A and B are shown apart, each in its own frame.
Chain A
């Protein structure tokens, strides 16, 4: 390769490294924000659980169990699969591993004689599914790097509606579970029917054991509307919370995955530059040697 060509290539690899470095830093900053957002969901979910317990107690026994989103459908024919992917690529295996897990799960379900209804968040998941000629029942795009409650609300209502109307008998969500900035694990979770564990207060035995026994006389609690109705509205909120948690974790994972991918891209670019520089030096040396040989040969010819 001529010296000039190698020089050009070094230049373009250096430019690429600048871009990947910048992307790495952007992802690192966004990752921190996404982590914070994921953490701030917890107090909300805990408070929601406590309110639900209060409403469930007031509504009377059996009310909570009777909530439609907690019901297992007797016959599971159609399973909704929600793939949580990113809007953009350049994040290593982030999107492809979700898709792979989704297709594998679909094959399992179909082997069991069930049919699959696809849902997707993120442009990557949607385009991969449509490219493979799967029909996507609903898709949600444009927010995957910073999802908020409104997005989760929209998705949850669609899924809860379809579930309660018996169009789907079960909903599973496949997303990248956030372990650390470097590690994301593909995780599959059943979103509907909602597990009772999600609704119940965790590790709070003192509160569970006869709360009426504490303190003296208690004022009567007002309910607007009545407890059963509040309960009916509170319980589906947990679907939203689970969903939002998955979306937020996926967003944090996305930034982590992109950060890692961009870091290795930058490292790789450095290696490529080193190799090319070596090649360029060799080419230059070869050229000089060639010239010297020509001069010497010319001088010898004169003698």
Chain B
């Protein structure tokens, strides 16, 4: 590949107000890199990111007709976009700018060895210069986008984001695998702190969905296939029919439920009850009409006899496809299912999970009973399936402490004679949820605490269930607790069925939850452009956290598709067709199906689909003929950088200057710093020459907003140009004066 080397490069080196210049001799660095090939000008600044410095850079680029730019300052994580914008404003292609990180990876990391830090800064900047010399001008890839969003999962997260997207003007397809909406929240009973029931939240959201024309809800719908890419995905969906039409009243429901002869364990109640082949998850479940479980149904026709017009047992499964610009994944979680024998689960008859207990409590009426026995003492064992030292689930599930304690409050409220014993690994009712812990203490709940490595044991002795805990709060004494019911406070894990993630090619983390691009900075985007994740499928979340993430994902998705056009980073793989001899290894390896086999100039070669390639580069080492490279990371560029790193550095040492410097000491250094000050700082210093002043006074004098003045004044103060007088003026503003 031929490249025109850039010959008019501008290098801008930042003092970062001392953060760099205290450890790196910036002026010396500037002197050395001036002589690098291709460098036309080198400039040092106090704060490269300041507005005035940005304007200055733009002027320099235009004035000197620069064709490349290196900014050597802090980490590109902070200011890459800032300087790309500077380049754009100066008419320079943003990809002809390379960032050199001489703060986090040089001045700060080597603040203990300033000579070496200076040496390293030279090398880092040289590598950046070498890279920018070979850089190409690139344009972002622009593609069309449909303002349609597919939301997968109609729990409260999916429903909420569907509403949000519709409000922002997108058309929404809401796809739910179950026949009823509401997901896990519908199962959850009373929620902290309002005590509102989960099913009420579901009802409110469902009614809003029904009001909107631009949301289409599919229930019994499963994603089968995905084609296309961001802006225009094509989703294939399989729809299982309900076999029941229209709404039905309670009377009809009671009759058909009675008539149906077939029974199966009710998953909605976690196996605590049975349901019929025709069923609703719960009486008020939405959509209103019941559904027939065709896997169970033997078509006996008993229900049809009650109302033939409403039931058609011969309805068929449908396969449909539709297009969407963006996809939101809100598939939620599964409660952790303990292994047999884990804290007596399934081996001791009165051990149940928190989720089962919530259902049990929700359904109980008058007396609290389990398997026919009245319950007085309840022991809760926390962190079951979470924070496992040996198991797969290292995470904290975040919601279970609050949920278990709230259950304890609810059960005591409903049955005052009940006593709660919490066997915890430390309570994590973070934030406002702490109040439920206080309430529970106040109502007399007893807390014990164990540590990892000394897990409590549950066993049946005669008629009684005993739990032995090594209680960390009682000098690690072994305490025996008797309980009528043992509730395992089970956390959140990823859904067993991850087929949709596999179809969408969403990365799955080691904890099985779906991975975002960056945990903190880009928490709802995935590396698959146009696919977003929200709610508990990404990581354990409570309702509040779920709502926050789903609204973030909706906003991100909408901002992507609502303009009809999408810009993509051009940092993708390219194939050198001279070298490529189609072997298919790249295609085989690529997780994103970005390679196509094409005929070009009479030979078969690989071609990269620009919208599908993510630019990860995993394909580049596997190419036997080394024909693939990622834009900006070619062999030449990498080798150029290595060369720049190893090339000798000879710092220009002027003995006389050094002696003079040590004689004059600080003043000389201060003068140097003063010369590099931004214009604004110099004006502030001038203004202070006539005496001490407060920030508003200086601002008025310089006709600048006082927050700007404050910003510059504070850095002047930090670097010893001004000091505060410890006096205030009549408006109670601090006065500042020049430091002599």
A and B interact: no
Chain B residues near A (Cβ < 8 Å): none
Chain A residues near B (Cβ < 8 Å): none
